Structure 1
C-alpha cells in the first residue's frame, strides 16, 4: 500500500478506496485483542494465571493489584496541557477554556499511555454549525488511520460509530485529505453513503498522538509493557498466597493425641463440623479410663506473612525501575522520610520521561491547533504548545528563583511567563492585571503616562 498517496473517498466504486477502508477495519480487528488485554490490566479485570499449588477454593476469590493503573496515572497526572501560545487572535485560548479541550486532553493522554496511540478528531463543521465540541479524543479501539511518513500526519482515518446487531457490519465515519468526510455503511458487501459533507480543511481532520515512538515502531508502545504485566501477575499470585496464609492461620491449628472419637461428636454421635472444632475456645477431655493414655492437646506455630510482604516489596522495587516511578508511589515506605532534595533526585527519571511525552504529544497538539485555526480561517504560524512544568518544586523554591530572575532583569515582573513560573492560572493572571489597572487610579495613571512620554525631570530620582 502506497502510504504517500492521498486517500480519496468520493469514488466508492474504486477498488483501492474500498480496499483501504477494509484494510483500516482489519487493522482495528488485528489490534483489538492486544488493546483489550492492556485495558483489562488497567481496569483490574485481567485474568491472572492460577497458582498450581493453592487450592481452587482459595483462588476463586478475585484478587487484584492496581500497579498497572499506577504506572499510567502517575505519568498522566504530570501531563497538564495549558493551551497554546503565539496565537494573536486569541481563538485557541478562548476555545481551550470553553470547548472542553482540557478534558479531551486528559482522555487522549490516558489512551495514548495505555494503548500506545490515541487520536484527536477536529470537526471541520463545528464552527459553521455553532457547536463548541470542535476537538474530541477518540479511542484506538474504534479509530485508526493511514500514516504518511513523509508528511508526518494521517492521510486517511475512520471511526466505527456503531455495529449492526444482525449483520455485525459497522457504520463508520471516514476522513480524507481533499474531498469528503462522511458516514458510510456496508450494505450487501458494498460501501454506501449514509450522509456526506465536504471537508473544508484540505487535510485529514484526525491527529495521531503516539506514545514512545521509534523509527522501527512509529505506531507507539504502551506503558503497560510485558515486564509490567509479569510483575503484576506475580504480585497477584503472591497476594493470593498471603490471603490463603491468613485464612489458614486465622485460628491456631490444634492437634490432639490419644483423643477418643466421641470428643469430636455431639451427644447423639453426629460428628461436629470442622469449623466448630477449629474455632472452639477450649477443648476438654474426661479422665482416661483404665489402660488408656491421657489425651494431650497442642497447637502448631502460625506462619507470619513476612515472606509474602518481602516478595511483594521486591516486585514493587523491580517495577519501579521498569516504570521510572519512585518506589514510595507503590506504598514502599521507610522509617526515615526522604528530604525534598532526595525526592527530587528520585523523581528525576520520572520528570525526564514526562518531558519526553510532552515533546511527542506536543507535536500532535500543535497540529490540532493548526487545524483549529484553519477551521476558523486563520493562520497558525508561530503557535507553540504550553505545558505545565513536569517537576514538583516547592512553592518557596520556585518563588525564590523567580524573584532572583526578576531582580536580575531576566524576567519582567508582570509577564505571563513570570506568572506561569509561579503556577498562577490564566484566569488569576487576568484578574491580577485588572487589579493593577484599577488600583492605580486615574491621577496616577495620567502621571505615569506623562512620565513615559516626557521622561523624568532633571534631578528627579
Structure 2
C-alpha cells in the first residue's frame, strides 16, 4: 500500500465499521426495526406480520432534546460581522437546515457540515456554501496523540456514470483536498481499485496530472463535526433500543389476541358413545371456512349452521358441552408496555410526561425537579453544538477575509419559569435580597433579554412587574382549572389571557414613553 493510499483505505475501513450502528439508530428512530423472536420457529411463522402495529416510543428521547435546541442568535464582534453572519445564515437556508442538523446529530450521534467558499470568475470569495453530510458518508479521523485534533476527514459516495457505477472519495486536510475515484466496475474495497480523480481537462488540452490535489490555506479541514459525545457521539435513544424491542413484541402480540377476542376459539365436547358427527360439514362450526376461490373471510352470513337471531333454534346433536377459549386480557400486554416506557424514560434521561402528554403532568417545583437531569443534558448539548457553530462561522468569516473573528452563539432557554409557583418563588427571592437580574437569569431568560428589561427600570418598577407576572400565572392556572371543569371554554380562556396581556403591554409602553 502506497503512502498516499494509507489514509484513504483506513478512512474507508472506519466508515464501513461505523455504518451499521448509524443505520440501526435511524431504524429505531423511524420505527422500522423488526420484531425480536426468541424462537426460530416463531420467527419463521410471524416475522412478516405486525408491521403496522408497532408503537414507536424510541423517537421521543430524540425529539424531546431537539425541540429545546433552538438557536436564539449568532452574533459577531460588531454589527458588520453580525450582518455577514445573518446573510450567510439566510443564503444557506439555515432556519430549516440547523434544526435538521441537530436532529441528525441527536438521532445518529454525529452529523457533519461542510463549509466551502463561493468564488467569482476572478477567484475572489463572494460567499460561503454550507451542506449537511451524513456520518454514513463522512467521518472525521482524530489524532491518536491528541484526540481533540482532526488529522483528516474522509467523504465517500457512489455515482452512476455511462460506464457504470463508480465510487468517489475526498480526503480533507489542513492544507489540501485529495480526490480519488475507482476504476469502472470495481467495488472500492481494494487498494488497486482506486486511482487519482483528475479534473476534467479543457477542450484540446492534456489532463493535469496534479489536479487531483487541491491546495488551500484554510488551516483546517472545511468539515465541522456535531456530536453528542467525544470523539464520536451516541444516539440520544440508544438506551431505548431494548425497551423498544420489548414494546414491539408486546404490542404486536397484543394485536394477535384481538382476533381471538373478536372471534373466540370455541370447543365442543362429545360423548363418543352417542355422538355421530359424520354428517357435519367443515363450515358448520367454522365462522370462516376455507374457500379456494375466496381471498378472505366470507360475509354472506351462511358460514355456520348455527345462526344468531330472533326465533333461531340451535340444535346440538350428541354434544354434552360447548364453550370457548378466552383470549388473553389486554392488561397482560399493556401493563408491561408502560413498564418499558418508564424504563426508557429513566435510561435516556427523558421526563416521563413527554412520553404521555395526556397523562398526569407534574406542575411547578415538581416538574422542575423532575426535569433537572433532562435540562442539564440539554445545556450540555447546547455547549457542544454551540462550540461547533462558533467554529463554523469563525471559519466562514475567515473565508471572507475577516481573520481572528469573534462569534457568539445564544440559545433559547432550556427551561423557563412559567407557572404561579415559580413566579411566587422568584418574588420571594427578590424580597429576601437576591438581585433581580440574578432571579431572572435563574428563571431561564437570556442575558440580553434581562439587560433589555432592566435598562432604565428601578427596583420598585421591576418588583411591580414581577408581581404582575405572578398574578397572571395564578390567573392562568385558575382559568385552566375552570376550563377543565367545563365552566368556560378553552377559547374563552385564551381570549381573556390574550386581552389581559395586551393591556399590560400597552400600559407598559405608555409608562415607558411618559
Counterpart in the other structure of 1:100: 93
Q: Which moved more, 1:97-106 or 1:360-369?
A: 97-106
What are the residue-to-residue correspondences of 1:137-176 with 2, within 5 Å? 137-148=132-143, 150=146, 152-164=148-160, 169-176=166-173
Counterpart in the other structure of 2:11: 24
Q: Is the 8 A contact 1:58 1:240 kept in 2?
A: no
For 1:347, what is the secondary structure of its paired residue? helix
Matched, 1:42 2:29: yes
2:277 to 256, 261, 265: 261
What are the residue-to-residue correspondences of 1:48-87 with 2, within 5 Å? 48-52=35-39, 58-61=46-49, 62=51, 63-87=53-77
Counterpart in the other structure of 1:242: 254
2:367 to 315, 339, 343: 343
Counterpart in the other structure of 2:107: 114
For 1:219, what is the secondary structure of its paired residue? coil
Aligned length: 403
Q: Distance in 1 between matches of 2:319 and 2:182?
A: 85
1:418 to 450, 463, 467: 450
Structure with the larger RCO, 1 or 2 (CA within 8 Å, 6+ apart)? 1
Q: Distance in 1 between matches of 2:452 and 2:276?
A: 82
**Structure 2: 5+ residue stretches without partners:** 184-192, 201-210, 291-296, 298-302, 441-445, 455-505
Q: Is the 8 A contact 1:157 1:175 kept in 2?
A: yes
Matched, 1:193 2:230: no
For 1:261, what is the secondary structure of its paired residue? coil
Q: Is the 8 A contact 1:158 1:174 kept in 2?
A: yes
Q: Distance in 2 between matches of 1:312 and 1:268?
A: 39
Q: Distance in 2 between matches of 1:250 and 1:281?
A: 15
Q: Is the 8 A contact 2:181 2:194 kept in 1?
A: no
**Distance change (3 Å), C-alpha of 1:278 and 1:95:** farther
Matched, 1:203 2:220: yes
What are the residue-to-residue correspondences of 1:394-409 with 2, within 5 Å? 394=418, 408=436
For 2:242, what is the secondary structure of its paired residue? helix
CA-to-partner distance for each residue in 1:312-365, whole Å, 9 max, x for gaps? 01111111100111223223865x542233222222111111111111222211
Q: Distance in 2 between matches of 1:113 and 1:66?
A: 17
For 2:142, what is the secondary structure of its paired residue? strand
Q: Distance in 2 between matches of 1:135 and 1:184?
A: 22
For 1:120, what is the secondary structure of its paired residue? strand
1:357 to 381, 391, 403: 381
Q: Is the 8 A contact 2:375 2:414 kept in 1?
A: yes
CA-to-partner distance for each residue in 1:63-113, whole Å, 9 max, x for gaps? 433122222111111111234234312222332344322333222222222
Q: Is the 8 A contact 1:255 1:299 kept in 2?
A: yes
CA-to-partner distance for each residue in 1:224-266, whole Å, 9 max, x for gaps? 42x4211111111111211111112212333333475367528
**Distance change (3 Å), C-alpha of 1:151 and 1:32:** closer
Counterpart in the other structure of 1:313: 338
Q: Is the 8 A contact 2:126 2:400 kept in 1?
A: no
**Distance change (3 Å), C-alpha of 1:270 and 1:28:** closer
**Structure 1: 5+ residue stretches without partners:** 1-13, 423-435, 449-461
**Distance change (3 Å), C-alpha of 1:328 and 1:271:** closer
For 1:417, what is the secondary structure of its paired residue? helix
Q: Is the 8 A contact 2:58 2:240 kept in 1?
A: yes
1:390 to 414, 417, 440: 414
Output the TM-score relative to the length of structure 2: 0.66
- Structure 1 residue 267 displacement after superposition: 10
Counterpart in the other structure of 2:503: none
What are the residue-to-residue correspondences of 1:224-243 with 2, within 5 Å? 224-225=237-238, 227-243=239-255
Q: Which moved more, 1:306-315 or 1:374-383?
A: 374-383
- Structure 1 residue 416 displacement after superposition: 4.0
Counterpart in the other structure of 2:322: 297
Q: Is the 8 A contact 1:48 1:236 kept in 2?
A: yes
Q: Is the 8 A contact 1:174 1:183 kept in 2?
A: yes
Q: Is the 8 A contact 1:313 1:332 kept in 2?
A: no
Q: Is the 8 A contact 2:35 2:248 kept in 1?
A: yes
**Distance change (3 Å), C-alpha of 1:201 and 1:44:** same
Q: Distance in 2 between matches of 1:346 and 1:300?
A: 45
- Structure 1 residue 26 displacement after superposition: 2.0
For 1:352, what is the secondary structure of its paired residue? helix
Q: Distance in 1 between matches of 2:284 and 2:265?
A: 26
